[in-house]
Copies of this chain bind each other. A is one copy, B any other.
């Protein structure tokens, strides 16, 4: 789960990290009021779960409150990578002496949290890692012992010469690691971490990504979820216990298991089609889940054919068959459907489907080819 910048900076601030003033606004009036209160030049920043906000025109400098109002008017409601901007953050325009990068991630290779700093801040850190790796400094944290003070100091010495700034940065690292742990993060990032001409070290922008598996035990973090900032079908899928990702193709896919779902999408592509989505109905699938899945897939008007690919293990094929029959009883299915079922209770399932007027295949390649063909014919 992604947090908005304004949410991330609130967590940083609560942990003691120095963050410039600033507030969120949902209307141009509010933005103007915030800017007036701040009483200086401000930056108006779109709050959406998308990178490249600046390039998209979602981040704008305003010399005064009236200008801030104008920028907010432009930015609110704007679409950035398909997401509508519902909120802007209004912050004072900072005086910047230097820009650095500071981040903590869970690193798959070392199987540990890794803290990274770079004196090349303010740009995408992947780019730094790719182009100037000598400017990226990493320490793998032993989670049994935490981020040790001398590790933070050593990293801070890579950023600054001044001992005061080194100590400030080392303290911010400890605080950021604490936020990362307390939020159940898979990433916590300050980019840029700036120094002001007065020598203060400040977090100018913040990004936190939370491990979804942490949400059950962290209700205050889970409460930060902003469903308005997500695709509504994906929200509905999550609520129904399904895993769904919307794509641009025309073959709607409903599969049990994530690996098989990806392989099915790939096979659609292999046979010349385009998958409309990733959808995993999960292991212990009830008919209700199948109903929800069909509802979500058919809502996508790009979908021209629907493909079920079920390998029954724990998933019982008859459950899926019943779900299909149930769903098509509840809604008018206006697009062709291809069903492939094999494994547990396969025979039972085929009988259920036949009675309801559906045909069922047992071979994956055959089913995919048919679904692709149907979509192409409909287009």
Contacts and interface: CB of A to CB of B under 8 A. Distances in A.
A144 interface: yes
Interface string A129-160: 00000000000000011000000000000000
A215 to B, nearest CB: 20
Contacts of A145: 144
A111 B31 CA distance: 58
Interface residues of A, number: 2
Nearest to A143: B144
Nearest to A142: B144
Nearest to A145: B144
A86 to B, nearest CB: 38
A182 to B, nearest CB: 15
A321 B2 CA distance: 69
A145 B142 CA distance: 12
A83 to B, nearest CB: 40
A145 B144 CA distance: 6
A145 B145 CA distance: 9
A217 to B, nearest CB: 13
Nearest to A146: B144
A286 B144 CA distance: 42
A146 to B, nearest CB: 10
A109 B145 CA distance: 22
A220 to B, nearest CB: 17
Contacts of A144: 144-145
Interface string A92-120: 00000000000000000000000000000
A343 to B, nearest CB: 36
A144 B143 CA distance: 8
A344 to B, nearest CB: 34
A142 to B, nearest CB: 9
A16 to B, nearest CB: 16
Interface string A2-27: 00000000000000000000000000
A144 B144 CA distance: 5
A232 to B, nearest CB: 38
A144 B145 CA distance: 6
A147 to B, nearest CB: 14
Nearest to A144: B144
A144 B146 CA distance: 9
A70 to B, nearest CB: 50
Interface of A: 144-145
2 contacts: A144-B144, A144-B145
